[in-house]
């Protein structure tokens, strides 16, 4: 949607509304799963926080800094549990973080390493066979 002759406040309100709508949609999807995805979310969040790809936690960022991104990555994982691949997960991590942080996020190949770590932990906790290791 293009904004024409609208105030900065209207633009900000629209952006906030869009984000809230996306969060509601993601939460509805996660709540509709026949299992509790919370352990997956905790694993993803722990790895993303440890990595701190946009260097936000290192600069006194709040602990929930990567919550939305972790939720989006968790949704990707739940949709690909039967055939989760390192490269596919790494690409999704890059996509989500680039969308959220743009210039603050540098795609330097670390997403692949983090994806491999996440899949390794999930493999220990959840019974599924990753397609690529």
Q: Tell me, what's the pLDDT at 130?
A: 47
The 10s digit of each residue's pLDDT in 26-70 is 999 999 999 999 999 999 999 999 999 998 888 776 778 899 999
HSE value, Cβ hemisphere, 13 Å, CA-based, for 57: 14
Percentage of the chain beyond pLDDT 90 is 65
pTM listed for this prediction: 0.83
Interval 6-20 mean pLDDT: 88
Instruction: Name the residue ranges covered by the structural domains of the chain.
Output: 36-125
Assign 3-class secondary structure to 24-91.
Answer: HHHHHHHHHCCCCCHHHHHHHHHHHHHHCCCCCCCCCCCCCCCHHHHHHHHHHHHHCHHHCCHHHHHH
Confidence class for position 1, pLDDT limits 50, 70, 90: low
d(CA 73, CA 119): 12
The 10s digit of each residue's pLDDT in 59-104 is 776 778 899 999 999 999 999 988 999 999 999 999 999 999 998 8
């Amino acid at each position: 949607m293009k904004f024409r002759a609208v105030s900065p406040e209207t633009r900000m309100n629209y952006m906030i509304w869009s984000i809230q709508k996306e969060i509601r949609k993601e939460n509805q999807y996660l709540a509709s799963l026949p299992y509790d995805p919370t352990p997956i979310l905790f694993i993803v969040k722990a790895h993303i926080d440890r990595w701190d790809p946009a260097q936000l936690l290192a600069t006194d960022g709040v602990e929930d800094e990567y919550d939305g991104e972790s939720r989006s990555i968790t949704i990707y994982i739940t949709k690909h549990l039967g055939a989760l691949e390192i490269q596919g997960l790494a690409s999704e991590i890059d996509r989500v973080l680039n969308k959220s942080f743009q210039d603050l996020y540098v795609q330097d190949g670390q997403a692949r390493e983090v994806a491999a770590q996440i899949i390794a932990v999930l493999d220990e906790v959840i019974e599924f066979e990753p397609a690529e290791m």
